[in-house]
Structure 1
Amino acid sequence: MTNAISIFDTTLRDGTQGEGISLSADDKLKIAQKLDALGVHYIEGGNPGSNGKDIEFFQRVKSLNLRAKITAFGSTRRKNAQAERDASLLRIVESGVPAATLVGKTWDFHVHTALQTTLEENLAMIYDSIAFLKSRGIEAIFDAEHFFDGFKHNPDYALAALRKAQEAGADWLVLCDTNGGTLPGEIYDIVTRVCGELKTPIGIHTHNDCELAVANSLAAVQAGARQVQGTINGYGERCGNANLCSIIPTLQLKMNYSCISAEQLQQLTSTARYVSEIANVAMPVGQPYVGNAAFAHKGGIHVSAILKDSKTYEHIKPELVGNKQRILVSELAGQSNIISKAQELGLDITANNDKTKEIIDRIKDLEHQGYQFEGADASLELLLREAFAEVPVIFELESLKLLVEKSKDHMMSEAIVKITVGGESVYTVAEGNGPVNALDHALRKALVQFYPKINDIHLTDYKVRVIDEKDATAAKVRVLIQSTDFQNTWSTVGVSSNVIEASWEALVDSFRYALIGMEPVEVSTPVREQLGLVNH
């Protein structure tokens, strides 16, 4: 029995059925390139006839020359019709894909209720559709919809549907837990029987309605399945699909199966975060393997132990999946946390250093005021660098003004920012759809001529938390900002009873962190005149 597992990614099709997820054709093409670099074997792009975006995707993806097999999705022919004249099947052929997934009914209840046809006609629909694709030289993957529910209700018919697809020449028989209600033990037993009765390779497609999609996929592999279908970050309808970001490393690092290369596995975290960014869906910080907190340590005992050996509190090396260890520092932090965090930054300190005790007291005082550094690594790093090393002053605020104007059907914000950069005063004005957005634009405008890298940085999340609810609109607030340059992601924090001041503080930290160690470029004379630069 081979230990190679075929990874079938359906983020671009099944993943987009998740609530709040909508991808343009450009989005799909970008994600497809990222998935291809990760090393997945199949990329399901969608239904080539269902909408304009999918049609455009299949037209344009050919020019990318991806190594993965681009796969179209469709269903078996309509009842009482001919496969050769079925519009959906013809569109798959016209799309020019090397492989296609056809979904068909295997639960007799669905045949009678959803299709409203006979069991015999459904079997003919499966056979004719698969045979049609094979006659056109297309790899045929049969997705046995509701297979596990169907098997538990009428195993003979569910298996008969698989046999029909096999007789027609299907290359894969994929068993679907469409409603997501099957348990791992049931999955294992049923897949074991299927593998014992059919010769065609078996795949697994699970949904997460009982939060068992990953466990069910692993159980199916242990029972003999050799293709796993899923999505990046588990995106999908209702509660989502099986999360490939958990399945791939578990199969590869813990179960001795081969999915992708070790080098490709190191791209898993960046791929998960990239897809999250394109889909505009915030990743859960505690997502296994790839989440920002997956290898984060806060308790002093834990941190003290991992300083001696990371295996004490980490089940794998985070670098294997492209993630990294993080030491959280808060009012609960002991000296071990501070020492470890400082060492991570290359700062030479010891437990007996007076500055260590001083910075712990400083952090505890700030957290008492409402700061929260465990969710703002970048602000914490700036704090530590300022305590233990020289931190260059990249820019200083001279003044800022905000104007908010409301008309009948439009509200506009304008920020006027004056900062000092390298001894020179820069005055900029920018508009935004809100005051913080206007501040962001104005600060970028002032800095970009000195630090062109600013163009690669953008905000991915902005959160405001009220600290003292009893104070109502006068309450102190905490602002958390997450930023990225697509290579790294960092978070900063600001606290004030004025939400604009708190936002400005977090925004400034974000840019300061991104520009650490960078030297400003020489600004040309025309640009200097345009910016109105004045030497101090």
Structure 2
Amino acid sequence: MNPMTRIAIYDTTLRDGSQGEGVNFSLQDKLLITSRLDELGVDYVEGGYPLSNPKDAAYFQAVRDLPLGHTKVVAFGMTRRRDIAAEDDTGMKALVAAGTPAVTVVGKTWDLHVREVLGVSLEENLRMIGDSLAFCASRVSEVIYDAEHFFDGFRRNPDYSLQTLRQAAEAGASWIILCDTNGGSLPEEVAEAVSQVAREIRVPLGIHTHNDGELAVANALAAVRQGARQVQGTINGLGERCGNADLCSVIGNLSLKYPDFEVLAPGKLVRLTEVSRYVYETANMNFRPGQAFVGASAFAHKGGMHVHGVRKIASSYEHIEPSTVGNERRILVSELSGKSNIAEKLTEFGLDQDQDLLSRVLDRVQELENEGYQFEAAEASFVLLVERLAGRHDKRFDLRGFHVGVAGQYGRASMTEATIKLQVGDVFEHTVSEGDGPVNALDGALRKALEHHYPGLRDMHLVDYKVRVINARAGTAARVRVVIESTDQDAVWGTIGVSENVIEASWLALVDSFEYKLSKDARGRTAAAPKSPALAAESLS
């Protein structure tokens, strides 16, 4: 049996990824992400450019105290400046002073860049590469050379591009990384170029691809098949312009689709989804639901035919078992659903054999979605709907009415006041609350009325609020959909309301959030609750 070929994973989320629009990591963010990447088993983490800003310089000081078990931290820098000795160049000195076990030096490979961007001769560029790598190789145990714009340069002047690589190899590079910096290469072009370089350069090769043609992952895999043994990229594909190769997809494909390659240590792949979402949260970015392997929709099934197949043989509509990458299967409910979708969801309640209930739930879902509801992101609404249609819903309060008033003057902050009337058993409640807006005021009034009856509501709070116009052609009379996301100590759920009146839609969503919390707590006291919803939604009577 032939031994597996080890593919090193090099993460540049903290440098290349942070160059993406809207991405900014604090020093603490960078240290925490480094720890998560180490737990995943990433081989190299590029921390930044120690001369570029005080934060990166502080990172290389602080990261020395992190108890990393596997990952090598890498400092990044450029070749020496023109007409300056490497030992006198401030960038070179800062690079080795970072004290990392490996450094990465980026140099020009495309003659266009050498002449027009650097403004030096082709011969001086070769000297800059050689001097810089020799300087680092004499002081750092591992030197990685990033051949910037390699594929563009190789297409136009292959002889010179190869000269730059030979110069790096002779100067002591431990790795030579071929970079598709503009992100415009095709997989067949990458494969051909890597194959030729592998025949001429004896130093281990790596690949660094950008996603401007939506081919970064495909190009990285093509390079690996032709001999590249290191892949550089970012978690979730963050990066400048269209981003870098998404390491979540690279790792997923190499680990699960190529049996001859070894990527992460055994047992680490299951952390992939967790790390992906951690980076999104840390970067204060929304998840990409359709992201391969780790997205919330990666194993979500909506069409009735698909769900019917998945219930019989999961692999009939899933290319891998979701749990292998730490993800999970989700069955969506919508107007496109068949009974298989409904039956799968009702299995959680032990009601999947009730054919009459299946039909009534499906009919009601289709009616409500025609009115503008969406159950794909409203699983808690679906839970409430099922409870009501099955006769299992305990009504814990009766709403008698609400009123919202907004008072203010032009140029001054307005004041919102909400009044509600409701009944809990034999007790009537009439409460008033002020807030920063109608939803905040209504939330306050509901809490005043209900918390002394149901103390568990104190654990619940609103975390997100979204409004979307459904039928925009109706102008200001258009129907709107409001989704509210709420959380307590152990779950997150969303609630949905639809109305021509945005305050009424918000009220419906808010009330259902309270209803679901009370129902959830009651289930927890009496029986096992259904699976935690990804989102939850509104009161649908």
Between the aligned partners of 1:46 and 1:252, the Cα distance in structure 2 is 27
Report the Cα offset of residue 254 of structure 1: 0.6
Deviations 1:160-185 (CA, angstroms, capped at 9, x unpaired): 11111112211111110000111101
1:101 aligned partner, one-letter code? T
Q: Where does residue 359 of structure 1 map in the other structure?
A: 361
Is the 8 Å Cα contact of residues 457 and 514 (structure 2) preserved in structure 1? Answer: no
Q: Where does residue 135 of structure 2 map in the other structure?
A: 132
1:319 aligned partner, one-letter code? S
Between the aligned partners of 2:240 and 2:291, the Cα distance in structure 1 is 18
Q: Where does residue 282 of structure 1 map in the other structure?
A: 286
Report the Cα offset of residue 38 of structure 1: 1.8
1:281 aligned partner, one-letter code? M
Cα RMSD of the aligned pairs, angstroms, is 3.2
Between the aligned partners of 1:430 and 1:97, the Cα distance in structure 2 is 55
Deviations 1:301-333 (CA, angstroms, capped at 9, x unpaired): 111111111111111111111111111211222
Q: Where does residue 146 of structure 1 map in the other structure?
A: 149
Matched, 1:4 2:6: yes
2:228 aligned partner, one-letter code? A
The partner residue of 1:122 within 121, 125, 128 is 125
Q: Where does residue 23 of structure 2 map in the other structure?
A: 21
Q: Where does residue 166 of structure 2 map in the other structure?
A: 163
Between the aligned partners of 2:346 and 2:143, the Cα distance in structure 1 is 55
Is the 8 Å Cα contact of residues 458 and 485 (structure 1) preserved in structure 2? Answer: no
2:319 aligned partner, one-letter code? H
2:481 aligned partner, one-letter code? R
Structure 2 residue runs without a partner (length 5+):
525-541
Q: Where does residue 310 of structure 1 map in the other structure?
A: 314
Structure 1 residue runs without a partner (length 5+):
522-536
Q: Where does residue 47 of structure 1 map in the other structure?
A: 49
Is the 8 Å Cα contact of residues 4 and 262 (structure 2) preserved in structure 1? Answer: no
Deviations 1:211-267 (CA, angstroms, capped at 9, x unpaired): 100100000010111111111111111111101111111111011222113532112
% of aligned pairs identical? 51
Change (3 A) 1:166 1:512: farther
Q: Where does residue 255 of structure 1 map in the other structure?
A: 258
Query: What is the TM-score normalised by the length of structure 2?
Result: 0.85
SS at match of 1:367: helix
1:267 aligned partner, one-letter code? R
Deviations 1:26-76 (CA, angstroms, capped at 9, x unpaired): 222232222222221111121122123323333333322223112222111
- Stretch of structure 1 that moved more, 123-132 or 139-148: 123-132
Deviations 1:180-225 (CA, angstroms, capped at 9, x unpaired): 1111011111111112222211110001111100100000010111
Is the 8 Å Cα contact of residues 234 and 242 (structure 1) preserved in structure 2? Answer: yes
Deviations 1:472-526 (CA, angstroms, capped at 9, x unpaired): 22322012345678997654322122223323433454566567644799xxxxx
Deviations 1:111-150 (CA, angstroms, capped at 9, x unpaired): 0011100111111111221222222224211110000111
The partner residue of 1:32 within 31, 34, 43 is 34
Change (3 A) 1:140 1:416: farther
Between the aligned partners of 1:335 and 1:416, the Cα distance in structure 2 is 42
Change (3 A) 1:408 1:39: farther
Is the 8 Å Cα contact of residues 173 and 201 (structure 1) preserved in structure 2? Answer: yes
SS at match of 2:87: helix
Between the aligned partners of 2:61 and 2:396, the Cα distance in structure 1 is 47
The partner residue of 2:498 within 495, 498, 503 is 495
1:141 aligned partner, one-letter code? I
Between the aligned partners of 1:296 and 1:314, the Cα distance in structure 2 is 10
Between the aligned partners of 2:104 and 2:140, the Cα distance in structure 1 is 14
Report the Cα offset of residue 440 of structure 1: 6.2
Between the aligned partners of 1:112 and 1:420, the Cα distance in structure 2 is 79
The partner residue of 1:450 within 445, 456, 473 is 456
Is the 8 Å Cα contact of residues 262 and 320 (structure 1) preserved in structure 2? Answer: no
Q: Where does residue 92 of structure 1 map in the other structure?
A: 95
Q: Where does residue 527 of structure 1 map in the other structure?
A: none
Q: Where does residue 539 of structure 2 map in the other structure?
A: none
Q: Where does residue 246 of structure 1 map in the other structure?
A: 249
Q: Where does residue 383 of structure 2 map in the other structure?
A: 381
Q: Where does residue 217 of structure 2 map in the other structure?
A: 214
Is the 8 Å Cα contact of residues 80 and 89 (structure 2) preserved in structure 1? Answer: yes
Query: What is the TM-score normalised by the length of structure 1?
Result: 0.86
Between the aligned partners of 1:105 and 1:35, the Cα distance in structure 2 is 29
- Stretch of structure 1 that moved more, 291-300 or 478-487: 478-487
